[in-house]
Amino acid sequence: MRTVGEREEREERSKTRELLWEFSWHLSKSHITENAWQSLDIIFKKVSSASEAEIPENSIGDFESAYVIYLDDGSPGKAESFGSPKAFQFFLQCLRATVASTTGFGRLAKLIVPLQEGHIVRSDIIPLRLRDSRFVQTAVSFAEPHQSYIGSHISESNNLGALFAASTAGLILCDDADGSSDSGLDALSLSVESELDNRLSFPWISPDKIRRRTLVLVEGSRAHPDNGGTGPGIYLAAIALGINMVVLDNAGHWLEGPEYAHWREAFIPTRLTDPPEADFGDRIVKAVKSYGKPVDGIVTFCDSYVVQVAQAAQQLGLETVSPDALRIATDKYQTSVFAGHQAYLASSADEALEIAGKKQLPYPLIIKPCNGWSSEGVFRVDSLDNLAEAVKSIDTSRHGSEFVIEKYCSGPEVDANFVLLDGEILFFEACDDFPKTADSNGPDATGSLSTFVELNSVYPSALPSQEINTLRDSFLDTLLKLGLRNGVMHLEGRVEHSSVDYYTTEDGLLDLHARRVEASANGEPPAAWLIEINPRPLGMTGAHIIESTYGIDYWGLAMLIAVGDKSRARSLSRPFKHGPQYTCVMVFISADYPPSRQGIFDSDDICAELKVRRPDLARQISRCACLVRRGQKVPHPSSGVNTFLAYFNVFSRTSRKEALDFARQVREEVRFSFV
């Protein structure tokens, strides 16, 4: 196999050419597993080169106009010879990786061939499930949404193009010391086979025909993708699933213009306000009818709109949850009462003081807006004076005037996430929400009020299994009693009377440990304490950590359930066979500056800077993002408004302790300044 490049002018191309690279390849192994795929090992080696230049990363058209690939039989290798442009681009990636290899033993690639006749359940399923694999450098899907396969295995072939054309995805394996010999390549191949068995042992080829569906999304993600919004997670999943998105949002939204028009089928300008106006449900119905084509479902991932969207769905004859159930779930006061808490509703400091005095409420207390998010306006109150101050600190322009007063539960806090279908749990996981700034055994609070600012969330939870089961069963019972039987549900809660609590060890790491005698729960059994229900995937980019840790994409599942695609929802709710691939810590970096400063962010991308300065830590970061830009005004931490600057998903395959240590180092190493 040779790659030849242009040397003279276009009209002389047929007369004079220069040999740039020559490669050999051979089909090393063909693995047929008990599962529904076959993997092919192909080793590429650079035989000779008349140039040290790299193979250019041109578009296929530009590449083919300037270069010719000659295959073993002398025929030119064109994109169509490899079955698809994606497969041909991956082939070129293999050649580039071979040129860049530091060993003389070539580069090992794997091709994945479906052995079951049917349709792929999600076009990017192989790269999604192989994220952060320690043995795979690059994973590329060749599939289109709903692509069908004949399901026949490959025995032997000397036709490189045919091998690629039969495959649904390709992997370039890592080029390290383990692959620096032929025996090392064999060991690397076997390691990846074990990875594939763990990650792909679920029905990702469906025997059923998959039809394209259309989903209406109300509120298309407020933050632009460049600013860390959830848009990419939603719309790229929809594209991979073959779901047409019809988006309803305010005129001027970033999805309305041409830059991201390919992410949606249609954009219908619709007036959205928060809180929603009285006729919002009717406006939704009018907008959907103006689309003029059938739709399969309607959904919103904005808590403020779920009731009106459910009401609109009823008018449109689409499947939905009861608006009354969603009204309870998204109102913090009604949720607390439904869960059996002794909770009180107030809308002013005077009302709160009167309730506290008349009911002789014991401190500490929690106050939180009925319509709240991201722990904004949530305060722990330890005295009567604190109570009035906390109420005045709630940003009523964002959250309204009504707030809840209830007891403070001091047990370990957790996030509990459910994927429900017809009342059945398809997937459940819990993570540890480490003590926030207001928790008495957490870090010191910033300012005079005890606010609940996120610090670390650790996946999976280290709570005793019996306590996780208690949370799961109690929270599921609450959801089902409410009538919330379908969808992705993000609940927050605590374990009251837990057998464990947070203590700092001698090496300075805070983590869960068995309760000390003086902090015992007085013989009370552990019980679930519900904080809030969110009938949607977890916010910000939190769904990414579930995707990489378990192989589960919450956004995709939420949309499949919304359009009634139950078969694919069941398939894609299956986590890795051997459980989470590592312990992962979501490290939240919040604003911190003296009150004398103006609060103007005066740094560049703090994530990129840290990764360059600490490449050792960069290797332990799955994903990260800087959420603010230089010159941006950031509220002071004491304001009660979300002040996240960045997040890092930091992992360890070795231990939870090591993951926490990496997280500590990341937090200590982040550099930023304010003016």
**Beta bridge partners of residue 633, listed in sequence order:** 600
pLDDT at 137: 95
Write down the mean pLDDT value for the chain. 88
Q: How confident is the model at residue 393 (pLDDT cuts 50, 70, 90)?
A: confident
- Selected from 1.10.1140.10, 3.40.50.20, 3.40.190.10, 3.30.420.40, the CATH number assigned to the domain covering 220-320 reads 3.40.50.20
Domain spanning 341-407: which CATH class is it, in words?
Answer: alpha beta
Is residue 4 predicted with pLDDT exceeding 90?
A: no
Give tens-digit pLDDT for 542-586: 899 999 999 999 999 999 999 999 999 999 999 999 999 999 999
pLDDT of residue 480: 98
Give the pLDDT score at 70.
80
* Residue range 351-359: mean pLDDT, rounded: 89
pLDDT band of 129, cuts 50, 70, 90: very high
**Domain ranges for the chain:** 2-206, 220-320, 341-407, 411-581, 582-674
Q: How many CA atoms lie within 13 A of 208 on its CB side?
A: 11
The confidence score (pLDDT) of residue 76 equals 79
pLDDT band at 455 (very low <50, low <70, confident <90, very high): confident
Compute the Cα dihedral for 140, 144, 145, 151 and give only its sign.
negative
Q: Over 70: is that where the pLDDT of 293 sits?
A: yes
Q: Model confidence over 623-663: pLDDT tens digits?
A: 999 999 999 999 877 666 778 899 999 999 999 999 999 99
Lowest mean pLDDT segment, chosen from 249-253, 400-404, 600-604, 637-641: 637-641
Q: Angle of helix 384-393 relative to helix 349-359, nearest 10 degrees?
A: 150
Q: What is the pTM of this model?
A: 0.92
Question: What CATH code is assigned to 582-674?
Answer: 3.90.1170
User: Tokens at residue 91, please?
Assistant: 């082939």
User: Which pLDDT score is estimated for 447?
Assistant: 37
Sheet order of strands, 644-652 included: 527-534, 487-496, 413-421, 424-433, 456-459, 583-590, 644-652, 621-626
- The 10s digit of each residue's pLDDT in 369-381 is 998 777 777 888 8
d(CA 335, CA 327): 9
Q: Please, which pLDDT band fits residue 519 given cuts at 50, 70 and 90?
A: low
Counting residues of the chain whose pLDDT is more than 70, the rounded percentage is 89
pLDDT at 182 over 70: no
- Domain 411-581 part of CATH 3.30.470.20: yes
Planar angle of CA 285, 555, 417, nearest 5 degrees: 110
pLDDT at 104: 65
Stretch among 136-145, 157-166, 434-443 having the lowest mean pLDDT: 434-443
Q: What mean pLDDT is predicted for residues 234-262?
A: 97
The amino acid sitting at 74 is G
Interatomic CA distance for residues 296 and 448, integer angstroms: 51
Mention every residue, 6+ apart, whose C-beta is less than 8 A from residue 630: 601, 602, 603, 604
The arithmetic mean of pLDDT across residues 74-89, rounded, is 88
Q: What is the pLDDT of residue 451?
A: 59
Query: Tens of pLDDT along 523-539?
Result: 789 999 999 999 999 98
Q: Higher pLDDT residue, 59 or 628?
A: 628
pLDDT tier, 211 (very low <50, low <70, confident <90, very high otherwise): very high
What average pLDDT does this structure show over 2-26?
51
pLDDT of residue 430: 98
Cα–Cα distances in Å, from 54 out to 57, 71, 95, 97, 179? 9, 19, 9, 10, 22
Q: Over 90: is that where the pLDDT of 435 sits?
A: no
Q: Tens digit of pLDDT for each residue in 45-57?
A: 887 766 656 777 7
Task: Please check whether the two domains, 341-407 and 411-581, share a CATH topology.
Answer: no
